[in-house]
Structure 1
Amino acid sequence: MRSGRLFSLPIALVFAAMAVRAHATTIEITMENLVISPAEISAKVGDTITWINKDVFAHTATAKNGDFDVTLAPKKSASSILKKAGTIDYYCRYHPNMKATLKVEP
């Protein structure tokens, strides 16, 4: 009976690890024609945000509260994992009229 319990533990750990990964998702935010799209989006702590720059010039995703500052070369992308909950207003430092809001839930 003890060997059955030892066999069950590794299986339980594998399923637990899979369950944690299953909750996280990747959210794509695009910068194109001097517009951030979507301009407002919700995500959860642990999600990955991928910013995609489709323009021919550089952009940034700069959080007003300092949570992130991502520089995107032309036609490139970058990703960040969300670490804490809150509402984050961000913009492009090179084009301050490009603004968006990211709502991060626990």
Structure 2
Amino acid sequence: MMSGRPFSLAVALLCAAMVVPAQAATIEITMENLEISPAEISAKVGDSIVWINKDVFAHTATAKTGDFDVTLPPKKSAISVLKKAGTIDYYCRYHPNMKATLKVEP
């Protein structure tokens, strides 16, 4: 049986090896046929959003809060990283009927 300092060191190393850092997720949001899909989605601060425009005309992902404003040319994509928590309603400036909600957790 180990005692004292070597035992404490072994326990500390074992605990450190068991700690796994959380990885940020990558979430895809698609704009196609004048719709945003999914219309509601949850994510976490630090996650990346891949905005994909599958239409033949430009779209935007414009947050009503001003948190982001991504312009997507036809058949292109863009990536943004979520920086703060909250519920964000967003829309396409070119097609205001295209609306969605992104819930960002801490």
TM range (shorter): 0.7 to 0.9
Measured in 1, the distance between the counterparts of 2:76 and 2:86 equals 27
The alignment status of 1:98 with 2:101, answered yes or no, reads no
Deviations 1:26-67 (A, max 9, x none): 000000000000000000001000110000000000000000
The amino acid of 1:67's aligned partner reads: D
The alignment status of 1:53 with 2:53, answered yes or no, reads yes
Structure number with the higher helix fraction is: 1
Q: Which runs of 5+ in 1 are unaligned?
A: none
Counting only pairs closer than 5 Å after superposition, residues 27-66 of structure 1 correspond to structure 2 as 27-66=27-66
Q: Equivalent residue of 2:28, what SS?
A: strand
Measured in 2, the distance between the counterparts of 1:88 and 1:23 equals 22
Runs of 4+ in structure 1 off by over 6 angstroms are: none
Report what 1:70 is aligned to.
70
Q: What's the TM-score, normalizing by structure 1?
A: 0.81
Aligned length: 96
Q: How big is the alpha-carbon RMSD for the aligned residues of Structure 1 and Structure 2? A: 2.0
Q: What's the TM-score, normalizing by structure 2?
A: 0.81
Shift of 1:23: 2.2
Measured in 2, the distance between the counterparts of 1:79 and 1:87 equals 19
- Which structure's CA Rg is the greater one? 2
